Amino acid sequence: MAVSAKLGDPAVSVAQNVIAADSTPHAELTPGQVARGYKLLALTMFAMSMTMSLAESIQPNFFREEIGMSGAQNGYLIAIREVPGFLLIFVAAILLRQGLAKATGISLIISGIGFALFAPTTAFWMVIIPTLISSVGYHSWLQLQPALGLSLAKKGEEGRVLGRLNGIGFFGSMVAMIAVVVTLFSLERWTDIEQGPVLRGFFILAGITGIAASVAIWRFPTSEIDQASARLAPRITWRREYRLYYWLALLDGSRMQIYFAFAPFVLVEHFNVSAIQLTIVLIIAALIKWRMGPIIGGLVDRLGEKKILTIGYFLHLTVFLGFALAPNVWVAYLCYLGYNFMFLFSIGTTTYLKKICRREDLAPSLAMGVSLSHVTAIVVPVIAATLWDKLGYQFPFIFGTVFIFGSLILTRKIDVEKQRWDAQPAS
């Protein structure tokens, strides 16, 4: 799908320079604008990572202890949560009309409001509305954030830029989770205050930091070429040249649904891990990602997406089998940390798309990828929840290895030079 521009539109002549400008550092931004863009995006990623980590680190225990949810119910809630992700191509079509930076700011406001609305919930049906609202916000953020980062990257340094920015985000996550651990430990050790109201307070704090993140990104710099590209860009993009990226997004999404829905509940429900213990594990994971983000990003630039993604998928396979066969909580901890580290390898999928697609297609194509990653978001968690109920917690992870094998097969087909949009035969 594509939206055609009228002949004679002044934006067309600017956008015709997009290919040439692609070799120009930072797409015509001045050094001052690039520096300001890094600072604003880094601050935004730090604050938004705090928002998501404040909420996600307490959700498993909040859902279990305050709402009374089971692991299977969490699987059903994940299916509901992922509906906005599936519809993201339509959300993005609306948001991107405001420009990339403003679209990001709006998505962060929505996310902050959604997370804050978890605070007053007391029953399973009540968490559905905040789940949907926060989902619209952070799923939009997931596809807008890498587009902003790549707009600052020189050619050949895409992985390093995303790795550094992701590292800053993981540092924000670590700060948030340390605050959660210190607070909950202090409550448990030195006071008689109940945990429930404090967990609800963290949801409100998550909402505040999300809205603060939106303020930081509002003045993110964009070049004239990027503005023209945004005006000409199809709001919904589906191009044959990007089909391998689409398939990888679909399989990655299916795998991630299983991990995010069930891995924390394996620790909480099967191994009786407390909120403090789970958050400490998440802090260690954030520390690893903070330090390793720039390293993995650099490896993507040096070794290429094909090698990095192949290594990553083999490690994913090991982790999923480890979760299914873990004989004790320590092996489960190791698998949990391993998966969080391997999240960094997804940088390769984003840089692969950047290298093969038209500049004006990048943001809407990332939105299409996020939407495709949610095509199975309703079906997969429901199937996996049924497997958990009927056969045991191990079987969702065994089921998930099917998607990993599919990703391994597709990764072997990556060939950036041949798959660039301008290297494709005319149709």
Give 5-48 pLDDT, tens digit per residue.
Answer: 333 333 333 233 333 334 344 446 677 888 888 899 999 999 99
CA distance 263 to 336: 7
CA dist., res. 139 & res. 143, Å (int)? 7
CATH architecture of 30-233+240-422: Up-down Bundle (1.20)
Give me the residue spans of the domains in the chain: 30-233+240-422
Could you report the per-residue pLDDT of 96-124, keeping only the tens digit for each?
Answer: 667 778 888 888 999 999 999 999 998 88
Is the confidence at residue 426, as pLDDT, over 70? no
Going from the C-alpha of 41 to that of each of 49, 86, 100, 144, 147, the distances in angstroms are: 12, 26, 12, 11, 11
Least confident span in 48-57, 149-158, 326-335, 411-420: 149-158
395-411 and 243-265 are packed helices; what angle lies between their axes, rounded to 10 degrees? 160
Inter-residue contact 366 to 88 (CB < 8 Å): no
Task: State the pLDDT at residue 82.
Answer: 72
pLDDT in tens, 340-372: 788 788 888 888 988 888 877 887 787 788 778
Cβ(359)–Cβ(228) under 8 Å?
no
- State the Cα–Cα distance between residues 221 and 36, nearest whole angstrom: 8
Contacts of 186 (CB under 8 A, 6+ apart): none
Q: Find the distance separating the first CA and the last CA of the chain, reported in whole Å.
A: 14
pLDDT tens digit sequence for 68-96: 887 667 767 877 887 777 666 667 666 66
